[in-house]
Chain A
């Protein structure tokens, strides 16, 4: 109290101005503090922890694990099952992305066409988007039933005399990876369909009119007008889809569990089994880091592409 009364009015004003300036400088940091702290807590810390575990021997389970540097990475890369898992993951992801684009674009073109009546378009739009509404668990259950040796697909194929025996889609090492990829294509195309449909509706009609005047038919219009116009959207969504598909776990786990033998072993399955079946958390972390690095490299291309678009 004595201190306050001893100050002159000018000094008080300067003090308040200083406090205000200080508060203004602090304000932006306070605004971003919640999101930054959430980022550190929920993203950065777990990532750093997994990186650290991948360099330790017996992380989590040993009371004082030792640093073994890259031994865990050497171990997983010398495991033929892990190398196989990388191959399966890449096949699964690349095929999924390619067919997502083809199926998604085909349906988007169909829904954007003037040749289909409006009411039918609305019905088809709802039907085609259905797979997107199901969770991975439901999709796995549905397709396990459909592709069961006694399921609908075999019944149809046998009725049409296309096959004369019950194909064990998920249960044969020759067909399991293709059946799984097919299911993932079915589950993921609606995202492309919706996004590309929005893109198609944004393409100016005069481009098609000009192409038509120049004598371009539907195929040439598709190749020289539609696809170039949709390219930024296709590239963005394909890169994101590739990253997401690489990490798919529940669908694979619930349909084949990585089998038969190792026919559908993916990196996510390998990581899960190392952690929760063998309790090798360091090995699981090393596998997760490899998956992370591949995903990050794709993220780099995505960001680069986004900058180029801007």
Chain B
């Protein structure tokens, strides 16, 4: 009897051990929500995930993909209900709200525990002392120029300061021919024109709209930029319909040869070529204020990445983050996306194969990434509030200083 009991005990212990070992090797399933997969060639992101799974046995990645707007809504709902996916694709504009809500994790402890080299990351998006997002791929916004229209107008050199830009816009504008120097989209539906087409002028001159992390919209640089835009608007150098114009309208007008210059994402180079293969265009950095010789801030939009605060597999989730930020994988991903890398050592292959991207990479390396809306609370709403005031200024209801002061007051409330 005693022997039987001992045998049973030994068998139970062996079974428990086997279950424990089995448990240790059980698969961890990571959910990764993002909007990137539909924007990449079919199967590209899945292929990168398969490589990750092959290198990390025991971790499986389920991609939850959708268009940008749907993903944003899903993330808002997931954050509110505590069901956010383990790894989260982020837009910098969402980071502050999600971090304050406690929905995304501070990456600092994960960085320390894994020995990840933060110096390789182009920018770490912080809220307070916490690090919440790495940009995986960045799409910078240079000035696109219709070279044929410029030549026709007698402009031989790419404008590098505001005076040269206004001069070029003046020469390009001919209302009778339905041709304008510049295009400014300020639709309130998607107010990112404030970030890409208005504030980019401030950042290009090394200036800022913030001071110690707080709004500083009434400073000379911002007011001067608003006055500069207002002067071009009043002179009729900007194509009509500004207040209802969206980013796609801007690109359309450039493609059709109706405007000579626009500030736009590099992500649209292929689209422009597809829409008008004969269009002869070039790019240059956003002009700075006259006499500025320092480094230029380059506005950008990015595919950011972070980890859910509620994830039960934070360590594995950060493994995936580190993998996507590693030199070779990052270079591979951004090469497919036609974006600039989040890893400072990664070099995408399109830089050598395409002259225009090569030029863009030069601009990228000479300047620095600047988008001060990244990490701000309710960033989209801040843009919309400023948009309303800029529209009021352009309609002649208020001066640039008044528009800046009203924006400042509203932003202070939001902060």
Chain A CB within 8 A of B240 CB: yes
Contact B243 A273 (CB under 8 A): no
Chain B CB within 8 A of A262 CB: yes
Please name all residues of chain B whose beta carbon is closer than 8 Å to the beta carbon of A256 when the two chains form the complex: 187-189, 244
Contact B80 A61 (CB under 8 A): yes
Please name all residues of chain A whose beta carbon is closer than 8 Å to the beta carbon of B188 when the two chains form the complex: 256-260
Contact A273 B384 (CB under 8 A): yes
Q: How far is the CA of A278 from the CA of B414 in the complex (A)?
A: 9
Contact digits for B60-78, partner A, Cβ 8 Å, 1 yes 0 no? 0000000000000100100
Q: Which residue of A lies closest to B80 (CB)?
A: A60
Please name all residues of chain A whose beta carbon is closer than 8 Å to the beta carbon of B114 when the two chains form the complex: none
Contact A260 B240 (CB under 8 A): no
Contact B240 A257 (CB under 8 A): no
Q: How far is the CA of A274 from the CA of B21 in the complex (A)?
A: 51
Q: Which residue of A lies closest to B392 (CB)?
A: A261
Contact A168 B243 (CB under 8 A): yes
Q: Which residue of B lies closest to A264 (CB)?
A: B188
Q: Which residue of B lies closest to A256 (CB)?
A: B244
Chain B CB within 8 A of A87 CB: no
Bin chain A's interface residue count: 20 to 34
Contact B241 A171 (CB under 8 A): yes
Contact A257 B80 (CB under 8 A): no
Contact digits for B342-382, partner A, Cβ 8 Å, 1 yes 0 no? 00000000000000000000000000000000000010110
Contact A277 B391 (CB under 8 A): no
Contact B378 A278 (CB under 8 A): yes
Contact A166 B240 (CB under 8 A): yes
Please name all residues of chain A whose beta carbon is closer than 8 Å to the beta carbon of B250 when the two chains form the complex: none
Contact digits for B225-259, partner A, Cβ 8 Å, 1 yes 0 no? 00000000000000111111100000000000010
Contact B258 A260 (CB under 8 A): no
Contact A171 B240 (CB under 8 A): yes
Please name all residues of chain A whose beta carbon is closer than 8 Å to the beta carbon of B391 when the two chains form the complex: 259-261
In the complex, which residues 239-291 of chain A have their Cβ closer than 8 Å to any Cβ of chain B?
A: 253-262, 273, 276-279
Q: How far is the CA of A259 from the CA of B258 in the complex (A)?
A: 24
Please name all residues of chain A whose beta carbon is closer than 8 Å to the beta carbon of B80 when the two chains form the complex: 60-61
In the complex, which residues 381-415 of chain B have their Cβ closer than 8 Å to any Cβ of chain A?
A: 381, 384, 387-388, 391-392, 395, 397
Please name all residues of chain A whose beta carbon is closer than 8 Å to the beta carbon of B243 when the two chains form the complex: 168, 170-173, 259-260
Q: How far is the CA of A279 from the CA of B381 in the complex (A)?
A: 9
Q: How far is the CA of A59 from the CA of B387 in the complex (A)?
A: 28
Tell me the minimal C-beta distance from B58 to chain A in angstroms: 34
Tell me the minimal C-beta distance from A306 to chain B in angstroms: 38
Q: Given the known A-B contacts A261-B395, A276-B76, A279-B378, are A61 and B101 also in contact in the complex, defined by CB atoms under 8 Å?
A: yes
Contact A254 B189 (CB under 8 A): yes
Contact A277 B380 (CB under 8 A): yes
Chain A CB within 8 A of B178 CB: yes
Q: How many A-B residue pairs have CB under 8 A?
A: 77
Contact digits for A164-187, partner B, Cβ 8 Å, 1 yes 0 no? 001010111100100000000000
Chain A CB within 8 A of B322 CB: no
Chain B CB within 8 A of A131 CB: no
Contact digits for B82-107, partner A, Cβ 8 Å, 1 yes 0 no? 00000000000000010001000000
Contact A277 B381 (CB under 8 A): yes
Chain A CB within 8 A of B190 CB: yes
Bin chain B's interface residue count: 20 to 34
> Which of A143-151, A198-206, A227-235 touches B?
A143-151
Q: Which residue of A lies closest to B77 (CB)?
A: A60
Q: How far is the CA of A60 from the CA of B388 in the complex (A)?
A: 28
Please name all residues of chain B whose beta carbon is closer than 8 Å to the beta carbon of A173 when the two chains form the complex: 243, 395
Please name all residues of chain B whose beta carbon is closer than 8 Å to the beta carbon of A278 when the two chains form the complex: 378, 381
Please name all residues of chain A whose beta carbon is closer than 8 Å to the beta carbon of B244 when the two chains form the complex: 144, 168, 170-171, 176, 255-257, 259-260
Contact B190 A257 (CB under 8 A): yes
Q: Given the known A-B contacts A60-B80, A277-B381, are A168 and B388 also in contact in the complex, defined by CB atoms under 8 Å?
A: no
Q: How far is the CA of A149 from the CA of B378 in the complex (A)?
A: 32
Q: How far is the CA of A144 from the CA of B191 in the complex (A)?
A: 17
Contact digits for A123-158, partner B, Cβ 8 Å, 1 yes 0 no? 000000000000000000000100011100000000
Tell me the minimal C-beta distance from B80 to chain A in angstroms: 5
Tell me the minimal C-beta distance from B403 to chain A in angstroms: 11
B258 touches which of A150, A262, A273 (Cβ 8 Å): A150
Please name all residues of chain B whose beta carbon is closer than 8 Å to the beta carbon of A168 when the two chains form the complex: 240-244
Q: Which residue of A lies closest to B256 (CB)?
A: A150
Q: Which residue of A lies closest to B100 (CB)?
A: A61
Tell me the minimal C-beta distance from A156 to chain B in angstroms: 16
Please name all residues of chain B whose beta carbon is closer than 8 Å to the beta carbon of A279 when the two chains form the complex: 76, 97, 378
Q: Given the known A-B contacts A262-B388, A277-B384, are A171 and B97 also in contact in the complex, defined by CB atoms under 8 Å?
A: no
Contact B378 A277 (CB under 8 A): yes
Please name all residues of chain B whose beta carbon is closer than 8 Å to the beta carbon of A148 when the two chains form the complex: 241
Contact B189 A257 (CB under 8 A): yes
Q: Given the known A-B contacts A253-B189, A256-B244, are A276 and B73 also in contact in the complex, defined by CB atoms under 8 Å?
A: yes
Residues of A within 8 A of B (CB): 60-61, 144, 148-150, 166, 168, 170-173, 176, 253-262, 273, 276-279
Given A260-B395, A261-B391, A277-B378, 11 more A-B residue pairs with CB atoms under 8 Å apart are A150-B241, A150-B258, A171-B243, A255-B244, A256-B187, A257-B244, A259-B188, A259-B387, A273-B381, A273-B384, A279-B97
Between-chain CB contacts (< 8 Å), 30 pairs: A61-B80, A61-B101, A144-B244, A150-B178, A150-B240, A150-B241, A168-B240, A168-B244, A170-B243, A170-B244, A171-B241, A171-B243, A171-B245, A172-B243, A173-B395, A256-B189, A257-B187, A257-B188, A257-B190, A258-B189, A259-B244, A259-B391, A260-B243, A260-B244, A261-B388, A261-B392, A261-B397, A277-B381, A278-B378, A279-B76
